[in-house]
Structure 1
């Protein structure tokens, strides 16, 4: 298998990003999350604002765009520029070789790309553990109701993933592997993912 992508979907504050980084380090492959993909969009000449219009929360982004500039939604989304920009950035990253991509619906974007083996993984955790992780994070301006905020971020991610898809964000049948960091340590999850990849 020449090229593969470990595409990690995750519930908010479940540890998916941290697991993605560890897996990439162990396998010696590239790692991409929001920040790295933003940088890649600059490198290949895509407007950063265009790439981030969805930002894994399409409802809020769409409303903001319509309020701020009613024509931007027509010009960018209806013509497919937003989706095309995200597809180009993700395919560009994957084309360079094996990598881990966190979020951005990479599994669905790449699933029909010839020559790339997509390994979809989903990371979740109990809501109590995710709220605790969020409260311990360095996020600024934490809301009073942290649980509501965490659950809202999950709804936004599900909305983003399902926007043009099959409505299966977080459903086990949509992934090669699903894990809960409430039930298994991050290191053990990394072991399983790496062993699976090495067996292909």
Structure 2
């Protein structure tokens, strides 16, 4: 019997990674998890929502950005292992329910030693100019009307994701050697990327 598979999909901000993840899940008929759906799963597991929010792809935010949350509360949670443990429980629970696509949240690093699943780690990027256009076309905020502000927003989001992913020192966000495959939506269409990943899944034992 073939193992279940998990496609762990990392992505640059506004690169189209979520859209690709949804396309893959629909094509293969498997569960799709992003931040919102993983948050719901954390509630099912009885994990305090505040703890989940702390590892919402920015667990070191208090150290690097000092915004939105009490840095002492985050420091204490991280140091006590609560955030890391909560993150692991949510991701492993999602993977245990069957083949799925998980967007972000270091799913690839959490699941990399699981011998009972086929892990496929994917990274999606795009040229910054294309990401600026994507954001401005899909958002109506004041920031979306100013290309320079949007660029700063995208660069900040990427820094946060990199800091989150690199926090434990067991991987390097966006480095090709860290993933099964990497794509740029500026070079290849989302549909072709989806085709490539789905075809690869068919080759797994």
Using the size of structure 2 for normalisation, the TM-score is 0.90
Counterpart in the other structure of 1:136: 137
Counterpart in the other structure of 1:151: 155
Residue deviations 1:121-179 (CA, integer Å, cap 9, x gap)? 00000000001101111364526411111111111111100000335111111111100
Counterpart in the other structure of 2:169: 165
Residue deviations 1:21-53 (CA, integer Å, cap 9, x gap)? 000000000000001000000111111110120
Contact between 1:4 and 1:98, CA under 8 Å: does it hold in 2? yes
Counterpart in the other structure of 2:26: 25
Contact between 1:122 and 1:175, CA under 8 Å: does it hold in 2? yes
Counterpart in the other structure of 2:96: 95
Equivalent residue pairs, number: 198
Contact between 2:62 and 2:74, CA under 8 Å: does it hold in 1? no
Alpha-carbon RMSD? 1.7
Contact between 1:54 and 1:61, CA under 8 Å: does it hold in 2? no
Task: Report the alpha carbon displacement of residue 74 of structure 1 after superposing the two structures with TM.
Answer: 4.8
Identify if the C-alpha distance between structure 1 residues 36 and 61 changes in structure 2 by more than 3 Å, giving closer, same or farther: farther
1:181 aligns with 2:182: no
1:71-150 to structure 2, matched below 5 A, reads 72-138=73-139, 140-142=141-143, 144=146, 145-150=149-154
Q: Aligned equivalents of 1:140 and 1:104: distance in 2?
A: 26
